[in-house]
Amino acid sequence: MPTAIAIHADLPLAWHPDQAPATGDGVLLLRVLSLLEASPPHLDDEDGPDSLRWQALEARIDLCLQLIGQLLARGAPLPPVASVALNGESARWRAAAPIAPGERGALGLYLSPRIPQALLLPAVITGCSPDGDRWLVDAHFELHDDELQDWLDKTIFRRHRREIFDRKHPSHDD
């Protein structure tokens, strides 16, 4: 069952009409993102040999991700950033053009600058209304994969906790 927790973020976002995401890609992306966002607890404890090895490994992975991201960005730039409200069942964002309610497709969200790959979520547009010079679009996810739903919920929960922490500690360093 999807979580009722929602996050608000500014993310590169694109609507892909009539596109079905590849099975398994979303789960893999969310699993990798979870690993990258988690810091092994022993890294903060001390600067012993094991800690230094972990830090060196993480630095190498960061460098590889950065280089891969630069190569991918040469082929196709990321879509424009949009302010999005996201929960386990739906998303709401401001779009430059209207999208017809009832249209099916995939919502592409770029959740991390470290991974320039879109999380493609199958969805149906449930509403679209004018909002100043933009359009407020509502989409309901049509996830038929329990594992993808579980990883999406975990990601939203983790990001929600981060939002709360950031509000309570506005001057912390990442």
Helix locations, the chain, DSSP H: 25-37, 49-75, 146-168
pLDDT of 53 reads 78
pLDDT of 42 reads 47
Which residues sit opposite 65 in a β-bridge?
none
pLDDT of 43 reads 47
For residue 44, give the H/E element and its range: none
pLDDT at 172 over 80: no
pLDDT at 72 over 70: no
Q: Does domain 8-38+79-168 have CATH number 1.10.357.10?
A: no
pLDDT at 69 over 90: no
Tell me the per-residue pLDDT of 31-61, one tens digit each, with 9 for 90 and over: 888 877 775 554 455 566 777 777 777 777 7
Who's near 57: CB < 8 A, 6+ residues apart?
A: none
